[in-house]
Structure 1
């Protein structure tokens, strides 16, 4: 839905009695700018059961799948039912033509996931959060958007928020990016997540002095595309007392979408490295662990996924997904309660009676294992209705 800012400004000017001189100045300033409002309304209903415990009432793991939250070591409980509209989102996109013939694009997008406030007791009111806020101009992108280390085009169509969560890089953050041809170069906001010596609660240390540096190359062809991204990071922690250390880390992510026949496709992802931490599986594993001397040691991790999309007919399609994360912990440092691996397998059936509406069902089975050898399973059946505009 496009809205002419110029027409709106002129109408407001006339209503307020602003002079023709002022009105013309507004016209000159805003001419050539369009605003597009888009988004979707999505209602989700989920039935979740866990083999080794349960998730609390306010846990975000009840809104969408987080691999690191699958309970391990608890008692089997009854199935939980949840329904919400938190994935619903709205997006403003502006496009301004410059005198030189170029375009400036601006994006501002919100949804209602992972925010404080709101409950299910009476009004189910939830606070919006910013997803994207950036501008693009002549190859440059500045603001908050998808990390260059992530390939959004290989994410499968799923009812769950991510779908193949265990096996992909997934991150949005502030960055400066330059794209030229098939190459992308970016400097992105740094953040370090750390496991205390012996295990325990996560330490989030905003002590880095250097941005994360990412480079990506994408080869596109008739058969699909292949992208390769590399990242270099500095993980730092200074607790103003005992610990003051930094360590370098690096990783690589390879992604591809391959066409199969006229409408089907296969989507592949492999990410591996040292100290990737929060870039993989929604921060299931941390980037580093503190050793007995107060120094940081990076944690190695590898994630991969494969998804197959099959189109049954013009209105019906399915996606089949498998994703896995494996972590190489030094248990002498992390303890035996650290996550060793997670995996999930999912399948869905989606039906669009008209292009703007999609209804469907999805089943997911997930497993999380910790270093002690204990594990826990989650089975979730999800139903959704989505209206995109």
Structure 2
């Protein structure tokens, strides 16, 4: 092969090789740096072979080699810039979490998909096939005074949840964000025959600006962080403060102060629940949170103005003071265990406790309100058997001091429950568990009923 022909061969081969490397830095089957190193060695070898054949490079061949070396240098520079860009994108994704940016607003999402398979029986009455008592424990709705039911089984995915959050950059001196949260619990129009379609419902929707919160969120009187690790929607429902509602809240460090939606629930003389809708003064909640390596502790107090007017019962208008105190927390017991608890007592707290087991007050023949005193609490112990396996055992109790002459004997006097579960997480986002629960309710006239439930759940959090 002559020097000119050989030079053309070199020129074509080297330029083709350079293009191959410079293309989508490109083949994913090999490391880019290794390809560049190998091509540089090939150039060196070809130059040595050319020197050995012709003794020296002609001008055109020398130009080809120089162009090839320049192309290699540019390719390396391109690769370095691509790596830097990839690092920037990766860092941006880490900062944004699961979401995306629109201008100076970061939009993120979270939630979970959950399937519940529940079989339960009641000792003193049948729960209807469309009742929400078949989805999760509602202590005040446990049947009493009837015949025992058989075991009833239902599957549902209604607890599946979507959470959308925003955070907008408004300058270093302020923070602005929002959150909207949806699920499909306690909504109408679903069926178990054909489609199992259920409407979404609003759980939370609020705006945060610096230390302020405006919108619907967990009541400041409730400590969500103390709730047990259960498969049931709440778990220790009889002893739990559980309310979401609109509010305005201010937070400074561990201190929180809120004005929240007022709503008086009243028991009429026949035991029926009446919602007067005559409230004028918001419920006022003050709370302080303590935390450390040992865990967390929360103390919260509430003041309420309970109110009815003449158009509700036709016997005049009246208002009464409601108040309460709740102490709750989560204490670490070594590296693998924790204990969670809550204790609450007060007058006129009815709708805040156990999904409104009893009402806030009863009304007498003159239209005067008599607030109902209640006390309640729960304890839950969680043990981590391994990185993938954990269990919780928990129990709760509720007691009401009903003015029986005003409420009749049909209202709930006390309720309690216990549960135990085993939850397996084969990988971090997935929980597969089984739980047994026993719950009981007793009315003021001595009737009682219990509910037994076995629940198997699979949950994928994202």
Normalized against structure 2, the TM-score is what? 0.77
**1:101 positional shift:** 4.2
Residue 316 in structure 1 maps to residue 389 in structure 2 = yes
User: Does the 8 Å contact 1:309/1:318 carry over to 2?
Assistant: yes
Q: Which residue of 1 aligns with 2:279?
A: 208
Name which of 140, 143, 146 aligns with 2:212: 140
Residue 263 in structure 1 maps to residue 359 in structure 2 = no
Q: How does 1:95-244 map to 2 (within 5 A)?
A: 95-197=167-269, 199-240=270-311, 241-244=314-317
- Between the aligned partners of 1:213 and 1:158, the Cα distance in structure 2 is 30
- Between the aligned partners of 1:237 and 1:260, the Cα distance in structure 2 is 47
Q: How does 1:50-69 map to 2 (within 5 A)?
A: 50-69=122-141
Q: Which residue of 2 aligns with 1:75?
A: 147
Secondary structure (helix, strand or coil) at the match of 2:426 reads: strand
5+ residue gaps, structure 1: 7-29
**1:243 positional shift:** 3.6
User: Does the 8 Å contact 1:68/1:339 carry over to 2?
Assistant: yes
The one-character-per-residue Cα deviations of 1:104-126 (angstroms, maximum 9, x if unpaired) are 12100000001121111111100
State the superposition RMSD in angstroms. 1.1
The one-character-per-residue Cα deviations of 1:269-318 (angstroms, maximum 9, x if unpaired) are 00110000110000011000011222111000011000001000000000
Secondary structure (helix, strand or coil) at the match of 2:225 reads: helix
User: Does the 8 Å contact 1:170/1:280 carry over to 2?
Assistant: yes
Q: Which residue of 2 aligns with 1:24?
A: none
The one-character-per-residue Cα deviations of 1:185-216 (angstroms, maximum 9, x if unpaired) are 0000010111002x332111211000000000
Q: Which residue of 2 aligns with 1:11?
A: none
Name which of 357, 365, 390 aligns with 1:284: 357
**1:363 positional shift:** 0.4
Residue 4 in structure 1 maps to residue 100 in structure 2 = yes
Residue 385 in structure 1 maps to residue 451 in structure 2 = no
- Between the aligned partners of 1:60 and 1:238, the Cα distance in structure 2 is 32
- Between the aligned partners of 1:104 and 1:60, the Cα distance in structure 2 is 37
**1:263 positional shift:** 2.1
The one-character-per-residue Cα deviations of 1:336-385 (angstroms, maximum 9, x if unpaired) are 11100000000000000001111000000001000111111110000000
- Between the aligned partners of 2:195 and 2:262, the Cα distance in structure 1 is 37
**1:100 positional shift:** 3.4
- Between the aligned partners of 2:440 and 2:357, the Cα distance in structure 1 is 13
- Between the aligned partners of 1:3 and 1:280, the Cα distance in structure 2 is 36
Q: Which residue of 1 aligns with 2:82?
A: none
User: Does the 8 Å contact 2:315/2:365 carry over to 1?
Assistant: no
5+ residue gaps, structure 2: 1-96
User: Does the 8 Å contact 2:315/2:366 carry over to 1?
Assistant: no
The one-character-per-residue Cα deviations of 1:220-239 (angstroms, maximum 9, x if unpaired) are 12211111100000111225
- Between the aligned partners of 2:330 and 2:98, the Cα distance in structure 1 is 31
Q: Which residue of 1 aligns with 2:89?
A: none
- Between the aligned partners of 1:239 and 1:42, the Cα distance in structure 2 is 47
The one-character-per-residue Cα deviations of 1:59-116 (angstroms, maximum 9, x if unpaired) are 1111110000111000012111111111001010111111234321210000000112
Secondary structure (helix, strand or coil) at the match of 1:278 reads: helix
- Between the aligned partners of 1:138 and 1:3, the Cα distance in structure 2 is 22
Give the paired residue count: 364
**1:256 positional shift:** 1.6
User: Does the 8 Å contact 2:384/2:390 carry over to 1?
Assistant: yes
Identify the structure with bigger relative contact order (alpha carbons < 8 Å, sequence gap 6+).
Answer: 1
Normalized against structure 1, the TM-score is what? 0.92
Q: How does 1:370-381 map to 2 (within 5 A)?
A: 370-381=443-454
User: Does the 8 Å contact 1:2/1:34 carry over to 2?
Assistant: no
Q: Which residue of 1 aligns with 2:157?
A: 85
